[in-house]
């Protein structure tokens, strides 16, 4: 299991990549194509009322969450690249510059050939 975390503006979002020897959770919308790697992470967006209060930088806003977005990949690097894009997109939906999002993976012992090219 690889946890991929994006952080910016004093908050963070973490998703999970399940590896070939792990069984990802199953729920409506889960990939059933037998992909080697499965990425699962929430999606969210800003709402005027309801939702969860969140402070990002100097703004207080309300966030509503959608169902997790499961996606299957054959290669670890493709899953890592998709995870980074997904996290940056979620912050952009809240008005945060995607380039400000710091991405970290855990475990930190990801082999060099699997790391995201920056």
**Please, is 49 exposed, middle or buried when counting C-beta atoms within 10 Å of its C-beta (0-12, 13-18, 19+)?**
exposed
User: pLDDT tens-digit profile of 34-45?
Assistant: 789 999 998 999
Average pLDDT of the residues in 74-100: 95
Q: pTM of the full predicted structure?
A: 0.83
Cβ(114)–Cβ(105) under 8 Å?
no
Residue where the block lists tokens 């790697």: 37
Q: What domain range includes position 22?
A: 2-41+68-114
Q: What angle do CA 85, 118, 113 make, to 5 degrees?
A: 95
Provide the number of structural domains found in the chain.
1
For residue 96, being part of any structural domain is answered with yes
For residue 63, being part of any structural domain is answered with no
């Amino acid at each position: 299991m690889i946890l991929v975390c994006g952080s910016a503006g004093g908050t963070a979002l973490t998703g999970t990549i399940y590896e070939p020897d792990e069984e990802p959770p199953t729920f409506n919308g889960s990939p059933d194509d037998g992909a080697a790697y499965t990425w699962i992470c929430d999606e969210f967006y800003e709402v005027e009322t309801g939702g969860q209060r969140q402070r990002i930088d100097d703004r207080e806003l309300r966030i509503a969450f959608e169902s997790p977005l499961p996606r299957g990949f054959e290669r670890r690097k493709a899953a890592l690249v998709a995870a980074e894009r997904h996290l940056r997109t979620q912050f952009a939906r809240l008005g945060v510059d995607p380039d400000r999002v710091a991405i970290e993976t855990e475990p930190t012992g990801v082999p060099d050939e699997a790391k995201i090219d920056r």
